[in-house]
């Protein structure tokens, strides 16, 4: 069974601070996706990283896929209250071909 | 439709009753997934379909849970003899292919067993 360990589980910061969320596994994934979920809604895809070592930037968000394709990170620069939400990483492929394996999620709260 | 549609959006049922949750995926999406989410937590995989077949149903918690998909489109998740621990948000997602492609989620069905 492939598992994704996401940390931290909770993050409460002030507007303007930087933060990093980690997603780690002992298994190799063919790709890793990051989703953001707001209350009462389903998760929405932010980015997919496919190549080991890949770095993708989405405005103030930077996503990195580990060289061995076992881990990933999400870094947010100068967080805004609008960034508040549940962030989920999900691994695709590997031995769990055909399903997305999700981490436990990180609940981010950005205070004005 | 434009997105993944789930119904009902909320369901309150008595312990021991059966419930059916429905998912209408995006037209043309071959893969369909069911996940369960407890309050503020990650997503627990239940089952996924490729077309009408379910190659992986390993996440179904017990034999009280079953799912089917017909016509490569609509899927129904059935929970028999509901228990209080079944209370959660049940999320459905579809994607164009099996992996490495974006999964589009519905808004979920919030199931409360009283």
pLDDT digits (tens, 9 = 90+) for B12-49: 999 999 999 999 999 989 999 999 998 777 899 999 89
Residue A37 has pLDDT above 60, yes or no: yes
B107 touches chain A (CB under 8 A): yes
Distance from CA of A107 to the nearest CA of B (A): 7
Local confidence band at A30 (pLDDT 50, 70, 90 cut-offs): confident
A104 and B108 in contact by Cβ < 8 A?
no
Cα B46 to Cα B23: distance, rounded to the nearest angstrom: 14
* CB neighbour list of residue B67: distance below 8 Å, 6 or more residues apart: B34, B46, B47, B49, B54, B57, B60, B75, B76, B77, B78
Structure tokens at B88: 């959660």
- Which of the pair, A14 or A1, is modelled with greater confidence? A14
Mean pLDDT of A40-50: 92
Residue A48 has pLDDT above 70, yes or no: yes
Q: Please report the residues numbered 51 through 70 in chain B whose beta carbons come closer than 8 angstroms to any beta carbon of chain A.
A: 55-56
* H or E, element range at B105: strand B104-105
At A96 the pLDDT is 57
């Amino acid at each position: 069974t492939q598992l994704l360990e996401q940390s931290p589980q909770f993050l409460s910061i002030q507007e303007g601070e930087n933060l990093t969320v980690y997603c780690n596994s002992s298994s190799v994934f063919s790709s890793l996706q990051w989703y953001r979920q707001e209350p009462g809604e389903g998760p929405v895809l932010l980015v997919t990283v496919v190549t080991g070592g890949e770095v993708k930037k989405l405005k103030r968000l930077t996503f990195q896929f580990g060289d061995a394709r076992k881990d990933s990170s999400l870094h947010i620069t100068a967080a805004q209250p609008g960034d508040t939400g549940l962030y989920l990483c999900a691994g695709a492929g590997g031995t769990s071909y055909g399903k997305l394996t999700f981490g436990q999620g990180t609940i981010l709260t950005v205070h004005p | 439709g434009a997105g993944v549609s789930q119904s009902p959006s909320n369901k309150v049922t008595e312990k021991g009753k059966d419930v059916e949750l429905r998912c209408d995926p995006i037209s043309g999406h071959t893969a369909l997934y069911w996940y369960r989410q407890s309050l503020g937590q990650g997503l627990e995989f239940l089952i996924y379909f490729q077309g009408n077949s379910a190659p992986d149903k390993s996440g179904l918690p017990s034999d009280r849970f079953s799912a089917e998909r017909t016509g490569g489109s609509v899927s129904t998740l059935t929970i028999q003899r509901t228990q209080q621990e079944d209370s959660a948000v049940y999320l459905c997602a579809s994607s164009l292919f099996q992996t490495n492609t974006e999964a589009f989620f519905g808004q979920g069905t919030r199931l409360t067993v009283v």
